[in-house]
Structure 1
Amino acid sequence: MQLMDNYQRRFQYLRLSITEQCNFQCQYCLPQGYQPNKDHQFLSLSEINNIVGTFTELGVHKIRLTGGEPTLRRDFTDILSIISSYPSIKELAITTNGSRLLKNISYWQQAGLNAVNISIDSFSPHLFKLITGQDKLKEIVQCVEKSLEVGIKKVKINTVLMKNMNDNLKDYLAWIKYRPVDLRFIELMETGKNNDVFNRYHLAGNLIETQLLAQGWQLQSKVALSGPAKVYSHSDYQGKIGLIMPYSKDFCKSCNRLRVSSLGKLHYCLFGDAAVDLRDLLVRADQKEQLKARIFASLMSKPEKHFLHDHKVGILPNLSYIGG
């Protein structure tokens, strides 16, 4: 069985949010910090196991744990162990701000983690603190080095582009010259609660792309299970640069991922205007066929593309809600 929508897009990649909680205050996401909602009960270990078991049977081979900050869960290592126990999972990744990575990455790797995306929105300590609300750049950079040291297969850096803040390409080139990491520039995306920040700081990624091409960077062919990034390499650099440009033409054409929120809702698009609740079918393992049927049915309503250009952001209040 394979997950495929009406536009012949095949889905082998699941982004699974396990918490909305976050301990950073990034300007573009949670500038006031996370506001706890006592009514929210995040997915349990058994529910996560049922989700993973079902999606692997439907052809998913890559799972990325997101949040919020996924590593804030006390049972995070247990979650990794559950997912890595499924032989068909080829890549088990996390997107993290790195705040708990330095002391734990070795344990997490032993539990099955083999890919890490670490958010670093600037290599300037001042700008890093201004954007994230945390004076932890030195520690987060050490997290990148530690991940490479312990042998994590894929180490990437995520940088959300912000006009006149962190858009100077040369600040990044020196850092990746001798490090085998992928640095991803992500266009700032509008959400329900960041309109002012979006209008002030949004910058099209093609401005960075033009600079890369002028400096001799070469576009790489996409590999299996890769995301939407256009990845560039250069013979003088060990690292690579990726561009994630959701406002570019045909961005949605190669969509290959689905999202399940920390509350058990299936989102066919980060900016979709609806979500399908799966939670009532996660209680017992013998509900798997019903769960599969609901997942397949939801794919039939997945649109061909998002409507970000029309400032239609769906039900997304902020990026921690679904997991970015």
Structure 2
Amino acid sequence: MQLTDRYARRFHYLRLSITESCNFKCNYCLPDGMDCGSRRDELTLPEIERLVYAFALAGTQKVRITGGEPSLRRDLTEIIRICKDTPGIREVAITTNGYRLERDIESWHAAGLDAVNVSVDSLDTGTFQMITGDSRLPSILRGIEKALSLNLPKVKLNAVLLRGYNFGEFDQFLSYVKDHPVALRFIELMQTGDNRKYYQQQHVSGSVIQRRLEQTGWQRIQKSKTAGPAQEYAHPDFAGKLGLIMPYSKDFCADCNRLRVSSRAELFMCLFAAQHQSLRHLLQDDAPDAVIEFLQQTLHNKEAAHHLHEEFTGATRHLAMIGG
């Protein structure tokens, strides 16, 4: 069985948010900190198990656990195990700000984690703190080293491009990738409901870096069917890879392969959709066929593309709502 929309796009990839809460105050996402009421109504373990099982029956092969910051959930290790033990799920990944990475990566790995994406918006301690409001960068970098020592199949770093903060650090990022077998991806800042003015001040197109890569011998890598939206590049002289996530680029949505479910069991057809439909009522008993039917029916209404170019951000106030 395959989840397919009216544009013949196939969906093999579930991005599952397990909390909206985050303990960082990134100035592009939650500059004033998290909403203290955002821990209400989070998905329970039985609901997660039923949800992932239904998605797997419908052809999903990859689950990425996101937030907010997913490691704020004390049962994260069990959630990883539930996802990994689900028949049909081949890859379990997590996106984290890294604050518990050094302490917990071994237990996550033992539970079945295949891949970790760590947000590292700067390799400079001072700049990192200005962006995130947190001083844990040394611990986060040690956590990345520990993840590499465990031989996780995929260790990735995410950096949101910000004109006034890290845009001038390209050479520093390049030096890191030369010696570390990680995939470092630059993400274009996206406009959300809460950051319009900040977006206008800080947005910079990833095409600037793309041209630089292509002019200095970096070669584009073909993506797998469960890969995310990054355009990745490799160079024979570098241990790691570089990637670009450019949501404002032409045809960005043409190969969309992922669906999102929020920590409150809302199905997001698109990160920037105006409305989201709850499927929580379908997760109260073991009825995967009802979940699959719901997904198939809802997919018929998925649009061909987002409308970010028209400054339409839908119901997404900030990226902590659904993990980007």
User: TM-score with structure 1 length normalisation?
Assistant: 0.98
- CA shift digits 1:208-242 (9 cap, x unpaired): 10111111111111123111111111111011000
Structure-1 separation of matches of 2:200 and 2:143: 32
Q: Which amino acid aligns with 1:218?
A: Q
**In the alignment, which residue of structure 2 is the partner of 1:71?**
71
Asked whether the 8 Å contact 2:56–2:87 carries over to 1, the reply is no
- CA shift digits 1:103-134 (9 cap, x unpaired): 11111111010100000000111110000000
Offset of residue 39 of structure 1? 7.7
Structure-2 separation of matches of 1:301 and 1:105: 39
**In the alignment, which residue of structure 1 is the partner of 2:58?**
58
What does residue range 104-183 of structure 1 map to in structure 2 within 5 Å? 104-168=104-168, 169-183=170-184
**In the alignment, which residue of structure 1 is the partner of 2:264?**
263
Offset of residue 38 of structure 1? 6.5
**In the alignment, which residue of structure 2 is the partner of 1:208?**
209
Give 5+ residue unaligned stretches, structure 1.
none
- CA shift digits 1:171-224 (9 cap, x unpaired): 211111011100000000000001111111001000010111111111111123
Offset of residue 74 of structure 1? 0.7
Structure-1 separation of matches of 2:202 and 2:38: 33
Offset of residue 87 of structure 1? 3.3
Report the more deviating stretch, 259-268 or 37-46: 37-46
Q: Which amino acid aligns with 2:273?
A: G
Give 5+ residue unaligned stretches, structure 2.
none
Asked whether the 8 Å contact 2:12–2:225 carries over to 1, the reply is no
Structure-2 separation of matches of 1:220 and 1:75: 36
**In the alignment, which residue of structure 2 is the partner of 1:88?**
88
Instruction: Verify: 1:282 aligned to 2:283, yes or no.
Output: yes
**In the alignment, which residue of structure 1 is the partner of 2:241?**
240
Offset of residue 40 of structure 1? 2.2
Structure-1 separation of matches of 2:99 and 2:214: 34
Structure 1 residue ranges (4+ consecutive) displaced by more than 6 angstroms after TM superposition: none
Q: Which amino acid aligns with 1:308?
A: L
**Residues 29, 38 of structure 1: alpha-carbon distance in 2 compared, 3 angstrom cutoff:** closer
Structure-2 separation of matches of 1:48 and 1:13: 15
Structure-1 separation of matches of 2:164 and 2:32: 22
**In the alignment, which residue of structure 2 is the partner of 1:14?**
14
Structure-1 separation of matches of 2:49 and 2:12: 17
Structure-1 separation of matches of 2:176 and 2:298: 43
Offset of residue 166 of structure 1? 0.8
**In the alignment, which residue of structure 2 is the partner of 1:320?**
320
- CA shift digits 1:9-44 (9 cap, x unpaired): 000000000001100000111001111116821000
Asked whether the 8 Å contact 2:229–2:256 carries over to 1, the reply is yes
What does residue range 18-37 of structure 1 map to in structure 2 within 5 Å? 18-37=18-37
Structure-2 separation of matches of 1:31 and 1:38: 16
Structure-2 separation of matches of 1:251 and 1:13: 16
Q: How many residues align?
A: 323
Offset of residue 57 of structure 1? 0.1
Q: Which amino acid aligns with 2:30?
A: L
SS for the counterpart of 2:187 is strand
Structure-2 separation of matches of 1:81 and 1:214: 43
RMSD of the alignment, in Å?
A: 1.0
Percent identical: 47
Offset of residue 81 of structure 1? 1.1
Q: Which amino acid aligns with 2:202?
A: Y
**Residues 99, 217 of structure 1: alpha-carbon distance in 2 compared, 3 angstrom cutoff:** same
Structure-2 separation of matches of 1:289 and 1:302: 20
**Residues 88, 200 of structure 1: alpha-carbon distance in 2 compared, 3 angstrom cutoff:** same
